[in-house]
Structure 1
Amino acid sequence: MKNRFLANILLTFIWVALTGSFAFANVVFGFFLSYFLLLVITRGSGRARYFRMVPKAISFFFFFLYELVKANLQVAWEMGTPKFYMTPGIVGVPLDIHSDNEITMLANLITLTPGTLSLDVSEDKKVLYVYSMYITNREDFVRGIKQGFEKRIKELYS
């Protein structure tokens, strides 16, 4: 997988050098063009993990960006209004992911999102404790994390 990624980056740089344009759109186009070329060239080789991973990673990035903007707007609204609508609390989120990398990624993504903070992981790595400014319903909050970040992290690491 690392070799395909490095080949993709190398072909992207070759594209940028040939076109002579370092514009962001040209670099992105070069990346996708080289991705497509590598996909066509290696079709049938049986090693398609890289080609499944890139779309998942791009989808994950845009999902996180959406969640980040949404949380920023919610916190900004809270700070800009005279009445507080916060219902803060700490919730134990049961985990379906088990590796240290997956749990660390989930905890970091939760902490990076305004209004939430990962506090601790249980000793058996089955529960992540999360503080949030807005917990109106515990089950909805847990479902949001499990069907959002945790589900996409599982897809990335599978």
Structure 2
Amino acid sequence: MNLFFINTFIALGYIGVQGQFSLFGFMIGFALGYLALWLTQPLYGRSRYFQRAPKTVRLVGFFLVELLLCNLRVFWDVITPGHISRPGIVGVPLSAESDMEILLVANLISLTPGTLSVDLSDDRRTLYVHVMYLDDPDRFRHSIKTGLEQRVLEVTRDH
């Protein structure tokens, strides 16, 4: 059975025993389950789960920080007089190749306030993104490539 599902069952068992039916309780149970599975790893052999889980947490953390910063930028634009937005559409060359990689990059971009994935080129190598605050197109491309896309590829590819 997949270790992720085993870890999820351990977390559900933890919140059931503790009576803490909350996201925080589930997260504690999940962390304890991960630790228990990691300690018993010699019993069932090596697994990619222990390499991917920290990378997934890193991606989620990065996205949450970006989400907060973009929300604050949009909030500031709304509450101040005048508009600081400089909208534009930027083509971002993609290293992502599979449908899942492209889907994750495009959707995480669209979930961030101030950006929206608009189109994918026919050759699937360029993602067109509408940006609400476009100061420097090259800097925006670089931030997507070295930030979001790099972390998505770390999670989805075997290294």
Say whether the fold is shared (TM-score over 0.5). yes
Q: Distance in 1 between matches of 2:7 and 2:148?
A: 27
- What's 2:147 paired with? 148
Structure 1 residue 45: Cα displacement = 4.8
Structure 1 residue 121: Cα displacement = 0.6
Which residue identity is paired with 1:125?
R
Stretches of structure 1 lacking an aligned partner (at least 5 in a row): none
1:110 to 2:109 alignment: yes
- What's 2:119 paired with? 120
Question: What is the RMSD of the two structures over their aligned residues, measured on CA atoms?
Answer: 1.7
Once the two structures are superposed, residues 4-34 of structure 1 have per-residue CA deviations (whole angstroms, 9 ceiling, x without a partner) of 1111112222223333333443332221111
- What's 2:100 paired with? 101
Which stretch of structure 1 is more off in the superposition, 21-30 or 71-80? 21-30
Q: Distance in 1 between matches of 2:78 and 2:19?
A: 46
- What's 2:41 paired with? 42
Which residue identity is paired with 1:157?
T
Between the two proteins, what is the percent identity of the paired residues?
A: 42
**Secondary structure of the residue that 2:95 maps to in structure 1?**
coil
Which residue identity is paired with 2:6?
A
List structure 1 runs of 4+ shifted beyond 4 angstroms: none
C-alpha spacing 1:127/1:23, structure 2 compared with 1 (3 Å):
closer
**Secondary structure of the residue that 1:43 maps to in structure 2?**
helix
Which residue identity is paired with 1:139?
D
Give the count of matched residue pairs. Answer: 157
C-alpha spacing 1:21/1:113, structure 2 compared with 1 (3 Å):
closer
Q: Distance in 2 between matches of 1:26 and 1:86?
A: 41
Structure 1 residue 130: Cα displacement = 0.7
**Secondary structure of the residue that 2:128 maps to in structure 1?**
strand
C-alpha spacing 1:82/1:17, structure 2 compared with 1 (3 Å):
closer
TM-score after normalising by structure 2: 0.90
Q: Distance in 2 between matches of 1:10 and 1:62?
A: 23
- What's 2:83 paired with? 84
1:131 to 2:151 alignment: no
